[in-house]
Amino acid sequence: MNERPDPREYLRDGPDLTGAELDRRLTETWRDAPGFIGWLCSVDHKSIGRRYLVTAIVFLSLGGILAALMRLQLSGPNHHVLSPDRYNQIFTMHGTTMMFLFAVPVMDAMAIYLVPLMIGTRNIGFPRLNAFSYWMYVAGGALLWVAFVVNVGPDAGWFSYVPLSGPQYSPGKRVDVWAQMVTFTEIAALSVAVSMTATILKQRAPGMTLARTPLFVWAMLVVSLMVIFSMPAVALASSMLMSDRLVGTHFFNTYEYGDALLWQHLFWFFGHPEVYIIFLPATGFVSEIVGAFSGRQTFGHTAIVLALSATGLLAFGLWVHHMFATGLPRMGYAFYTSASMAVAVPAGIQIFCWIATIWSGRPRFEVPLLWVVGFIVTFVIGGLTGVMLASVPLDLQVHDTYFVVAHFHYVLIGGAVFPLLGAITYWFPKMTGRMMSESIGRWQFWLSFVSFQVAFFPMHILGIEGMPRRVYTYPASMGWGTLNLLSSLGAVLFAVSVVVFVINMIVSLRSGARAPANPWNAPGLEWATSSPPEPYNFAHIPVVRDSTPLWSPELTFARGLRVEDRELVMTTVLEAKPDLREPSAQPTIWPLVAAAATTVVFIATMFTPWALAIGALPVAVALTAWFWPKDRGPEGEPVID
């Protein structure tokens, strides 16, 4: 250590090193290596976030094609476009793809890209873990879809209830593919959650106290904690299911004193929080958009944070409302009904805060705010049917009918996809340096909004008329044909609107108007750097004095981070006082190698449990290489003499 230079000799940003010279040096330090290998090795949160986003949109398209096939099949009675077996695979694949491969990952995508920019840091914490999560996600998605293409697509529904999914009623590998895909995506989501939690708690810019932290970042902190507490449930459940199927355990086998309902408890202990894991980031988008387009700080910052936290807590207390039809003690019914209804309170608080923001501000109804309005209308309808379903007598009547299908599409598409489309429109200029077309955006919003209602509102009525979920066809005498046809027409138009959105993205990427650093005059730190941001995000780390830093008269900066090494500032958890300078990991191929080795193990364990023992070795080697320090690192400054 003696040969290291004196700390004072390191190049640091500051008044003496700023502007073009600083840009050149920081770019050299933070950019990915050129070429395909450099691309594979990237640990830049912006690259990983973009990849996540593009991949999630690909899975959205695949899931959407399956939806279109189902609507084609159901558009009239006695259709035989799809066989019953193919239909089972398709509705399972649709739900599984949309929940595990689109909805959760797309929210992660936005957060991975945006959170480090919003809190004013140069990269996400644990960037290699973040890169690893992406490769695991892609591998899980590829496993599911390759299996489907070769007719091994899972067919027991997206929640794979036993005993249907058990060894007796689902021989073959279809359910194993589902269970293992779950393992892949859970590892990916948990990895992101760990990175996100640490980043948000430790890497906020100096002065960004928890009270000044942007609402989207707050939403992601709550969501990350929810992922941490809920996803182990489904990972455990799917491992138990696989071991029942492969090595003859009896967790869910009633004949050997296992229990089928244990599956439902474990699955929904994950599955219900999952809904809020998808919904809360969307409320974060809405809070950001509403503030920026109303020209004022979002009303009720503290109330919204408390509402987010309350939703996160309540989400763990109402999983049994998915199981009302299994029979419960009276007290159980009462408890889970009240918990389910109670969650409407924090949701309502957020909605009133957003309305108050628009009401008391100077709203500009540009495309992102249109999506917010569309969201509020649609989500309130979905929320109200949710309160209806919390009531046991009503739930028992419409359980497993199209009423439930209508409800969750209103809350998931209205509650999460609408804000997502608004958010993509809002942050597209930051990500690409180009504006999306405003005129196409307006047309597309109205097409989406109206066609969505046409597609999904009739399903409420179909459900009340008794049409069950997951039937591949129905006889003409049931009288469901007209509403199903209407629904299918709406679905076609909705699919067209999503295609228009993607075309708008692609066209704008090539020829959209150039975006300045802050095209919407928004207050958040992500707009304090160029569009798109340089590899190092911020030339100097901003110092925050309130929750709308770019609307302050002057933004000041911190100096003193090293320029020739990847260095981050760690701040204290509550007050965000500068505390440490820590290095940030260099790009490396090992997360990809570790993900590849893990993929081989996971796929092989579908065939033999020995793969777990043998395959652990290459995984261990890859992880060791990943963590082993390659050089003295940016730390360099000796602390022991």
Partner 1 sequence: MATSADPRPSFSTDLEPLPTHAFGHRSLTWWGIIAFFLIEGTAFVLAIAAYFYILDKEQAWPPPPFPPPTMLAGTLFTVLLLLSEIPNTLVKLAAETHDLPRVRRLLVIISLIGAVLMVLRGFELNSLNVLWYQNAYGSAVWMLMVLHTTHIATDWFDTLVLTALMHTDHGGEGRRFVDCSENAIYWRFVWLIWLPIYAMVYWLPRLV
The verdict on 544 binding partner 1 (CB under 8 A) reads no
Residue (66 or 277) nearer to partner 1, CB = 277
Nearer to partner 1, 77 or 516 (CB): 516
Q: Which is nearer to partner 1, 43 or 129 (CB)?
A: 129
| Interface with partner 1, residue 581, by CB under 8 A | yes
Long-range contacts of 67-74 (CB under 8 A, 24+ apart): 67/94, 67/491, 67/495, 68/491, 68/492, 68/495, 70/94, 71/455, 71/487, 71/488, 71/491, 71/492, 72/488, 73/472, 73/473, 74/473, 74/474, 74/484, 74/487, 74/488
Residue 36 contacts partner 1 per CB under 8 A: no
Q: Does 452 help bind partner 1 (rule: CB under 8 A)?
A: no
Question: Closest separation between CB of residue 313 and partner 1, Å?
Answer: 15
Q: Which of 32, 546, 575, 635 binds partner 1 (CB under 8 A)?
A: 635
How far apart are CB 15 and partner 1 at their closest, in Å?
Answer: 6
> CB of 249: closest distance to partner 1 in angstroms?
4
CB of 497 closer than 8 Å to CB of 398: no
Count of residues in contact with partner 1, rule CB under 8 A? 86
Which two tokens mark 481?
């044909």
CB of 327 to partner 1, least distance (A): 15
Beta-bridge partner residues of 569: 581
Shortest spacing between CB 573 and partner 1, in angstroms: 7
Is residue 583 at the binding interface for partner 1, with CB under 8 A as the rule?
A: yes
Name which of residues 191 to 250 contact partner 1 (CB under 8 A).
193-195, 197-198, 201-203, 206, 228-229, 231-233, 235-236, 240, 243-244, 247-250
* 284: amino acid identity, one letter: G
Position 564 contacts partner 1 (CB under 8 A): no
Q: Taking CB under 8 A as the rule, does residue 259 contact partner 1?
A: yes
- Does the protein bind partner 1 through residue 298 (CB under 8 A)? no
C-beta of 576: minimal distance to partner 1 in Å? 11
Instruction: Name the helix (H) or strand (E) containing 239.
Output: helix 215-246
Under 8 Å between Cβ of 182 and 235: yes
Judged by beta carbon, residue 26 or residue 41, the one nearer partner 1 is 26
Q: Does 87 bind partner 1 (CB under 8 A)?
A: no
Binding of partner 1 by 115 (CB under 8 A)? no
By CB under 8 A, the residues from 267 to 296 that bind partner 1 are 269
Cβ contacts of residue 449 below 8 Å, gap of 6+?
374, 378, 418
Q: Considering the complex, what minimum distance in angstroms separates the CB of residue 570 from partner 1? A: 6
Asked whether position 614 contacts partner 1 by CB under 8 A, the answer is no
Gap between the Cα atoms of 423 and 526, Å rounded? 13
CA distance 278 to 189: 12
Q: Which is nearer to partner 1, 125 or 141 (CB)?
A: 125
From the list 467, 515, 569, 597, which residue makes contact with partner 1 (rule: CB under 8 A)?
A: 569
CA 152, 62, 181 angle in degrees (round to 5)? Answer: 45
Please state, in angstroms and as integers, the Cα–Cα distance from residue 38 to each residue in 43, 191, 461, 615, following that order: 10, 22, 54, 27
- Which residues inside 397-416 make contact with partner 1, applying CB under 8 A? none
d(C-alpha 594, C-alpha 627), whole Å = 11
Rule CB under 8 A: say whether 6 interacts with partner 1. no
- Per CB under 8 A, the segment of 13-21, 301-309, 410-418, 468-476 that binds partner 1 is 13-21
Instruction: Say whether residue 580 binds partner 1 (CB under 8 A).
Output: yes
Query: Looking at the chain, how many residues does it have?
Result: 641
Shortest Cβ distance from residue 242 to partner 1 (Å)? 12
Q: How far apart are CA 278 and CA 223, in angstroms?
A: 8
The answer to the question of residue 582 lying near partner 1 (CB under 8 A) is yes
Among 149, 150, 331, 640, binds partner 1 (CB under 8 A): 640
b/e code 139-159 from CB counts within 10 Å (16+ = b) = bbbebbbebbeeebbbbbbbb
Any idea what the Cα angle at residue 87 is, between residues 81 and 89, rounded to 5°? 140
Rounded to whole angstroms, the Cα distance separating 11 from 26 reads 11
Cβ closer to partner 1: 14 or 77?
14
Residues 480-539 that bind partner 1 (CB under 8 A): 517-518, 521, 528-530, 538-539
DSSP 193-224: HHHHHHHHHH-PPTT--GGGS-HHHHHHHHHH
Candidate ranges 32-40, 168-176, 491-499, 622-630; the one touching partner 1 (CB under 8 A): 622-630
Q: Is 163 in the site for partner 1 (CB under 8 A)?
A: no
Interaction between residue 4 and partner 1 (CB under 8 A): no
3-state DSSP assignment of residue 37: helix
Please report whether residue 629 would count as binding partner 1 according to CB under 8 A: yes
